[in-house]
Structure 1
Amino acid sequence: MVKGFKIDKPKLPHELPEVGFTIKENGYYDYCIYRDCVITRDDTDRIAFDQVIFDRVTFEGTDFTNIELTDCVFDHCDLSNIDFSKGSIHRVEFKNSKMIGVMMPDSSLGNVVFDNCQLNLSAFGYSKLKQVRFTECTIKNSDFYECKFQKVALDTCDIEEANFANTKLTGVDLTTCKFDRLQVSPESMQGCIVSTEQAIGFARLLGLEIKDE
C-alpha cells in the first residue's frame, strides 16, 4: 500500500552561506544559498547542485539536460519551460514554485516532494519516480507516459487531462484529486484507488456504458 510512505528530506546543514551565482567551469555547485537571482546554463557538459537552497531563483536558458540535483530545496522559484531531461533528482523539495512546462523525461526522481507547485503541461515521460509526493499541485495536461511509479502519492492535486498511459498506478490514491478526464490505458488503472464517482468516470473513459437502475 502506497499511502503513508516516508520520504527522506534533503540533507542540509543548519546554516549555509548565501552567495551570488557565478559560472564555474566544472559545472559543480555546492553548499550554499542562492537568493533572488537568475541562473542560466553555460556550455559545460555537466551541471550539478549538491546541498543548495534556491530562494526566489529564476532558471533561464531552457537547457539543463543531464542535471544532477542532490539535497536541494527550491522555494518560490520559477523553472517554467526548463529542460531537466535525463536528470538525476534525489532528496529534493520543490515548494511554491512555478514549473509550467518543465521537462523531466527519461529522469530518475527519488525522495522528491512537489508542494503547492504549478506543473501544468509538464513532461515526465519514461521517468522513474520512487518515493515522490505531489501535494496541492496543479498538474493539468501533464505527461506521465510509460513512467515507472514506486511509492508515488498525488494528494489534493488537479490532474485534469494528465496522461498516465502505460504507467501502472498500482496503490496510487486519486480520491483527493480533481479531474474530469484523464488519458489512461486499462492496464494503468489496475490497483489504483479511486472514489465511487471517479470509478464511474473511468468506466465511461474505457468505453463502458453505465445503466442507471
Structure 2
Amino acid sequence: MTKSFKIELPKIPPDLKRANFQDIYYEEDPYLANSIITDTAIDNEELDKLVLSKVTFKNVRFINASFSRIDMTDVLFENCDLSNARFSEGIIHRVTFKDCKLIGLNLTEASLGNVSFENCIVNMSDFADARLKQVIFDNSSLQSVNYYECKFNKVKFNRCDIDGADFTQTKLKGIDISTCTFDRINVDIGNLEGCVVSPEQAIGFAALLGLKVKS
C-alpha cells in the first residue's frame, strides 16, 4: 500500500499588484514578485535564471518561451498555455498548474517540490532526469510524456491518461497508477517492484513477463 500525502499549496497573498511581464526587463536581474499577470501573450521570450515569487498567471500564453534555470516559488498558473515552453534545470517549488495546456513543456533536469498539475494537458512533455518530490498529477492527460531516469519521491498519478508514457530507468516503487488509463507504457520490469496497479493492469504487466493468466 502507498501512503497518502499532502502537498504544500502556493502561498500567495490576496493583494497582488497587477503587472506586465515586460516589467522584469527593467530589473538588473530578471525578477518578479507579489504580482498578477492576466490575459496576455509572452510567446518566444527568452530569459535565463528568471526568478518568480508569489505570482499568479491567468489566461496567459507562453508558447515557445525559454526560461532555462528558472526559480519559481509560490506561483499559480491558471488557464495558461505553456506549449513548448522550456523550464529545463529549473527549481519549481509550491507551484500549481490548473486547467493549463502544457504540450511539449521541457522540464528536463528540473527539481519539482510540492507541485500539482490539475486538469492539464501535458502530452509529449519532457521530464527526463528531473527530480519530483511531493508532486501530484490529477485528472490530466499525460500521453507520451517522457519520465526517463526521473527520481520520484511521493509522486501521485490520479485518474490520468498515461498512454505512451516512458518510465524507462525510473523506479516506480510506491507509485500508484491504479486509477490511470493506458494501452501501452514503457517501463523496465525491474523497476516495477512496489508499483501499485489495478487487477486489469497487472494482467498486462504479466504478459510482459511472458506469463499467461488463467481466468
The TM-score range, normalised by the shorter chain, is: over 0.9
TM-score w.r.t. structure 2 length? Answer: 0.93
Match of 2:164 in 1: 161
CA contact (8 A) 2:104 2:122 kept: yes
CA contact (8 A) 2:45 2:66 kept: no
1:203 aligns with 2:206: yes
Q: Aligned pair count? A: 212
CA distance in 1, matches of 2:148, 2:108: 9
Match of 2:6 in 1: 6
After superposition, where does 1:93-112 map in structure 2 within 5 Å? 93-112=96-115
Shift, 1:40, TM fit:
4.7
TM-score w.r.t. structure 1 length? Answer: 0.94
**Structure 2 unaligned residues grouped into runs of 5+:** none
CA gap 1:106/1:31 in 2 versus in 1, 3 angstroms: same
Match of 1:53 in 2: 56
Q: Percent identity?
A: 44
**Structure 1 unaligned residues grouped into runs of 5+:** none
CA distance in 2, matches of 1:69, 1:14: 18
CA contact (8 A) 2:48 2:70 kept: no
CA distance in 2, matches of 1:79, 1:45: 17
CA gap 1:41/1:80 in 2 versus in 1, 3 angstroms: closer
CA distance in 1, matches of 2:162, 2:203: 17
CA contact (8 A) 1:3 1:153 kept: no
CA contact (8 A) 1:2 1:152 kept: no
CA contact (8 A) 1:2 1:151 kept: no
After superposition, where does 1:135-146 map in structure 2 within 5 Å? 135-146=138-149
Shift, 1:68, TM fit:
1.0
After the TM superposition, which segments of 4 or more aligned residues of structure 1 sit over 4 Å from their partners?
40-44
